[in-house]
Structure 1
Amino acid sequence: MPSTTNVLDEARQLVQNRLAELDDERKRLERALAELGGKATRRAPGRPRGSSNKKASASTSTPRRRKRRGGTRADQAVNLIVGEPGISASDVAKQMKIKPNYLYRVLGDLEKEGRVKKDGRQYYPAG
């Protein structure tokens, strides 16, 4: 007569093998469903919980941005340069109460756009 542990081990192994077969079949069916345009029952690998492919509702689709008061930093800088031609970037930054290293980037973009001209350390309105 076979021992009880061998019978249990064999039964456990049979159940595990069958579960593996069923799991493979489930995965194939989910892939087929996804290719047909249906919704798969599981999230895709690497996607965090709660994320999905579906679109958000209209109320949460795009958060409303506030309109900036007084225009953008670039517009503010141009207005200061027009009002005071020959002003340096550090003086513009002080008047705008922002860090000069940020303003240098803004002024570089303004210079590329042709809105201001740089002569040495001074900035002048273009045109």
Structure 2
Amino acid sequence: MAEKRTMIDRERIRKALRARTFIVCAVIAGLVLACGLFLINCDDSQQVDLSTVLEQVQSGKVWTAKVVDAERRIEITTVDKKRFHSYWSEHGNQGVALIDELTKAQLPGGYSVEVPKSWW
């Protein structure tokens, strides 16, 4: 009877250790995932006025640009690797004028335009 009892106790201890190990691993994996997502979403660009962005584009200081149409946002990277972003208003045709300026400037790294996809 004593042998049977010690076997049951050992089995319980093994199960408890497995459960504890699983919980610890799950918590560590969650923390690593949360920290990774936080670091990925870190935006290191500085927000400036649209006039500042246009001035940078016209003066030839911009290496690349990205226009996000859905957010009415432009992101630029200058020749000296500084990053800026700006927004334009929904009134008027500032987005079209911005694209025209980017086309005229012929950026060394080029520019891209993100247009939202239609689900229809």
The normalised TM-score by structure 2 is 0.32
Larger Rg: 1
Higher relative contact order (CA 8 A, sep 6+): 2
| Structure with the higher strand share, 1 or 2 | 2
